Amino acid sequence: MEFKCLKNIETSFRQLRLYCFVFAGICAAVTVVSVVLSYRFAERQRQKIYVLDNGRSLMVALSQDLAQNRPVEAREHVRRFHELFFTLSPDKAAIESNIGRALLMADRSALSYYKVLQEKGFFNRLIAGNISQMVKVDSIVCDFGKYPYDVKTYARQRILRESNVTERTLVTTCRLVNTVRSENNPQGFMVEELNIVENRDIATYDR
């Protein structure tokens, strides 16, 4: 009986020792993970600068590549706006969806242009004639030497009808201003004073 009791005690001791080793291993793993995460967090914090605005508000700005990324973001904003605003299909819901998303990236100048086309029956003719319109942006020239940024965009339109295809030039100018980033405006820019300076046929060929 005593032998069995001693054996049970020894078994319990071994189990306790095993549990201690497992617990120590878990603690060590948690410690290592915590150190790694803390180091990464510290590295991210070192990449930020904190600027006091007249001693009142605290603004956080990314110190790395912010100035370098803005020109890239500006061109992407302009490119995406043109793709949404000038790419049209003979479907009212699709037109309204694209135009609606584009108008979130621009001021009232784009809305005014849209209303003019709407009043002239442009979209109704597009739908009735089963006509599609696509745009390809060739180049975007931005002047980042002054603010707001002056932008000139060179693109081509392809108008697809049932019988033929028409290619047109599309040259626009606008100004870019900074605005708050959002899901609908991830680059944080706003197109202002949109102006179409050239939009003419350059070729028509049968399909």
The predicted structure's pLDDT at residue 5: 47
Least confident of 4-18, 84-98, 179-193: 4-18
Same domain membership, residue 44 and residue 120: no
The backbone region for 170, taken as left when phi is positive above 0, alpha when psi lies in -120 to 50, beta otherwise, is beta
Q: Which domain holds residue 11?
A: 2-50
Domain annotation covers residue 169: yes
Q: State mean pLDDT over 68-83.
A: 92
The pLDDT value recorded for residue 29 is 72
Predicted local confidence at residue 96, as pLDDT? 94
- Higher local confidence (pLDDT), 31 or 1: 31
Give the pLDDT score at 195: 96
- Is the per-residue pLDDT at 105 higher than 90? yes
Query: Which residues share a beta bridge with 172?
Result: 153, 196
Within-domain flag for 59 = no
User: Are 34 and 81 part of one and the same domain?
Assistant: no
Q: For the domain that residue 184 is a member of, what is the CATH number? A: 3.10.450.230
**CA dist., res. 105 & res. 204, Å (int):** 32
pLDDT tens by residue, 2-58: 444 445 556 665 666 666 666 667 777 777 677 667 667 655 655 554 444 444 444
Over residues 50-68, the mean pLDDT reads 49
Q: Specify whether the CB–CB gap between 167 and 203 falls below 8 A.
A: yes
Domain count, the chain: 2
**pLDDT computed for residue 69 by the predictor:** 83
Amino acid of residue 34 = S
- Using CA atoms of 160, 163, 164, 170 in order, give the dihedral in degrees to the nearest 10: -30
Residue 124 has pLDDT above 70, yes or no: yes
Considering the domain boundaries, does residue 196 fall inside one? yes
